[in-house]
Structure 1
C-alpha cells in the first residue's frame, strides 16, 4: 500500500529504491512509519521524488489505517465502501485507491493510468477526454469482475507501453497491435 502512494508521478524503480531504504530502517508497518519524524521519513523516501509531499501522504494514510482498525478491518468492507474510505484520505486519488484495491486487497477494480490512456487512445478505444471513472467502468464491464484478469491485463498494458508503445519514439514497426493503431495511421499520413 505504501508503494501505491510512493509511485505517484515516478517510475517503479524509484519506488523500489525508496522502499528498500525505508525497509532498512524500519518494519513497513503503519506504527513504524508514524514513529519516524516527518523529515526523516522524507529523507528515506527521497528516491521516489516529491518526498516531502509523499511523507505527509504516507503519514496521513498510516494514521487513517490505524484509526480504521487496520488492514483486517478494512478488508471486511465492501469494495465500494473501501474505495470511498481510500478516496477520503488526503493525497489518494482514484488511480492510487484502485491500485491499493486491486493489488493489496485483491478487489476486482481496474487501474487506469497514463499507460492505459496512451495505449487505448492510440488504438482508438477512447477519444482521450473520457473521465477516469468512465474508462475504469468500461473496462470492468467488458472484462467482468476478475482480479487475476485485471492484474494481468494492467501488467501487460504497462509492459507494452514501456517497451513498445512509448510516449516518444513508439516502436510501431514491432507492435503486434499496430493494425488498429491510430498513432501508426497518423504517422503514415504525415508528409
Structure 2
C-alpha cells in the first residue's frame, strides 16, 4: 500500500460533488426509486453487469408488460427473459427476479419496508443472483440504512486511496468507505464514487491530471 489519501472524507465528498454530476438517467436505481420497494429491487437486479442505458430500457419494458405488479411478473413465467433481454444475463436475472417476486407475494411488499435490515438482508441473500451490493444499494437508498454499497468503482478507488489493502473483502471495503465518508453521506457518496470512477478514476488510464483529488491521492500519476 502506497499510503493513505491525505484529505478527510467530508472534504473528499465535497470536491468530488463539485466535479461530477449524478443524473437519474444514468443510475437505474434512482430512475426506479419512485416506483416502490419491489420495483426498486427489480431495477437493481437488472442493473447488475449492465450499463444503465440498457438496464433502464429493460426496466421500462418490464414496467409496460406488467405494471411491475408482482402477480403479473410471476405470470410471465419463462417469457420474463425475453421482456428483460436488453439488460443482458437474462437467465440469472430472470431467476433472481422470479425468486424475489415469490418472496414478495408470500410476505407482502410491506415486508421490504418493515423487516429489520439484518433479517431482510439474510432473507434476500438466500436468492441466487442477489448479493450484498444489490441489497446494500436498496437498504441505503430506500430504507436509509447507513451501509456503503461496494461496486467495482468503489473497490478500485478505495484501494487506490489506501483505505484498504489490495484484495480486501466486500465487507472490509464497505466498512472503510462508511467510516471515511460518514454514515450520513454513505448513500450519496456511493453514487458519487461511480460518477467519479467513470470520469476520473478509470480502471485504465485514470485522468489524474484533471482529478480534483490529485494532490491528496497516494496513487496519483504525476506527469511532467
TM-score (norm 2): 0.75
Among 146, 151, 162, the alignment partner of 2:187 is: 151
In the alignment, the residues of structure 1 paired with residue 136 and residue 201 of structure 2 have an alpha-carbon distance, to the nearest angstrom, of: 23
Q: Is residue 164–residue 172 contact of structure 1 (8 Å, CA) maintained in 2?
A: yes
Name segments (4+ residues, structure 1) moved above 6 Å: none
Asked if structure 2 preserves the Cα contact closer than 8 Å seen for 1:117 and 1:128, the reply is no
Does 2:115 correspond to 1:77?
yes
Identify the match of residue 206 of structure 2 among 166, 170, 176. Answer: 170
The alignment status of 1:10 with 2:50, answered yes or no, reads yes
C-alpha distance in 1 between matches for 2:188 and 2:103: 30
Aligned residues between the structures: 184
State the 1:182 CA deviation.
Answer: 4.1
Identify unmatched segments of 5+ residues in structure 1.
Answer: none
Q: CA–CA distance in 2 between the matches of 1:168 and 1:142?
A: 25
Distance 1:143 1:157, change over 3 A: closer
Query: Looking at both structures, which has the greater relative contact order when contacts are Cα pairs under 8 Å and sequence separation is at least 6?
Result: 2
Q: Does 1:28 align with 2:64?
A: no
For residue 172 of structure 2, the aligned residue among 123, 134, 139 is 134
How far residue 59 of structure 1 moved from its aligned partner, in angstroms, is 0.3
Alpha-carbon distance in 2 for matches of 1:59, 1:181: 43
Q: Unpaired segments of 5 or more residues in structure 2?
A: 1-40
TM-score, normalised with respect to structure 1? 0.87
